Structure 1
Amino acid sequence: MSHDAQELKQLIAPVVAGLGFELWGLEYRVQRNSALLRIFIDGPEGINLDDCAAVSDQVSGVLDVDDPIPVPYRLEVSSPGMDRPLFTPEQFRRYQGEEVRVRLNWPVEGQRNYRGRISDMDADTALILEVEGHVVRLPLEAISRARLVPKF
């Protein structure tokens, strides 16, 4: 997670928690003249549209006051959904044994895209993935995106 994303997370997490939800994770992308801040929230009863609107209103207020994003930005708030993104070592551990798709920032063993079963975490630094009987160690800082593969 970038330095800016980490700062945004520290600013936003208490707001989300204050409304009774968990900040599951966030994506922060900056283009030349704009930015996208996508926040994923979760709750014991799941998330509905009203929950997303409430969090959006509160987070917008905090961002307007603190003004941490130097360009015009779009704020999106949603639930993690069936193809839940995974951001932290704790989340990877929580879904151990589940199938996941992973996209990397750089190749590991000659590949940037993986689909496999979460086997374990190596400390808090690498995801251990079982891919067709082969074990692959993916450094967390190499992971661009990781999402659960939904079971139907």
Structure 2
Amino acid sequence: MANNVKERAAVIAQPILDDLDMELVDIEYKKEGQNWVLRVFIDNDEGVGLEECSLVSERLSQKLDEEDPIPGFYYLEVSSPGAERPLKNAKDFEGAVGKNVYVKTYEQVDGKKVFEGLLTAYEGGEVTINIREKTRTKAFQVPERLIATARLSVL
């Protein structure tokens, strides 16, 4: 059910964000304690502040009320992805080249499942991450298809 809610919320949110020249980074729909929370992460080239989040929240809340795609009560939160922005697609990885990342894989790559270091390249569905190991830096090539989660990292 959560995936269906996320997909429907994304379809409703996208025209609002397009109109405001913003990007939909991610959507979460999950139970926290006794409550359901729909969390929408947005961004733009200049960065997102409280004013932008409030504007999107107001418009999105109105549209969600009109279309009523989510059964029951839930809380809506709109925020920026912050310093640890998730990396979900080619555009995200391309934009993160030159930045520190945290990547966890489904299976081992060169004996590791967790990579934290500098993303130096994204080519042909593969990311290259330079990781400092004691006195040297080692480059790891990780196929995108093996990546379980990836995000920007604050080292």
TM-score (structure 2 length as normaliser): 0.72
Shift of 1:57: 0.9
- Deviation (angstroms), 1:61: 1.3
Task: Give the structure 2 partner of residue 143 of structure 1.
Answer: 148
CA distance in 2, matches of 1:79, 1:120: 25
Q: Highest CA radius of gyration, 1 or 2?
A: 2
What corresponds to 1:6 in structure 2? Answer: 7
Q: Which ranges in structure 2 are unaligned for 5 or more consecutive residues?
A: 133-137
Going from structure 1 to structure 2, the CA distance change for 1:4 and 1:111 (only over 3 Å counts) comes to farther
Query: Once superposed, what is the RMSD of the aligned Cα atoms?
Result: 3.0
Larger deviation, residues 131-140 vs 86-95: 131-140
5+ residue gaps, structure 1, are none
**Which segment is superposed worse, 58-67 or 44-53?**
44-53
Question: Cα distance, 1:98 vs. partner?
Answer: 1.4
Amino acid at match of 2:27: E
Q: Is the 8 A contact 1:97 1:117 kept in 2?
A: yes
TM-score by length of 1: 0.73
Percent identity, please.
Answer: 27
Regions of 4+ moved over 4 Å: none
1:141, CA displacement in angstroms? 7.0
Distance 2:146 2:27 in 1: 14
Q: Which residue of 2 aligns with 1:129?
A: 129
Change (3 A) 1:30 1:79: closer
TM-superposed deviation, 1:35 = 3.1
CA distance in 2, matches of 1:83, 1:25: 12
1:115 aligns with 2:119: no
**Residue identity in the other structure for 1:82:** A
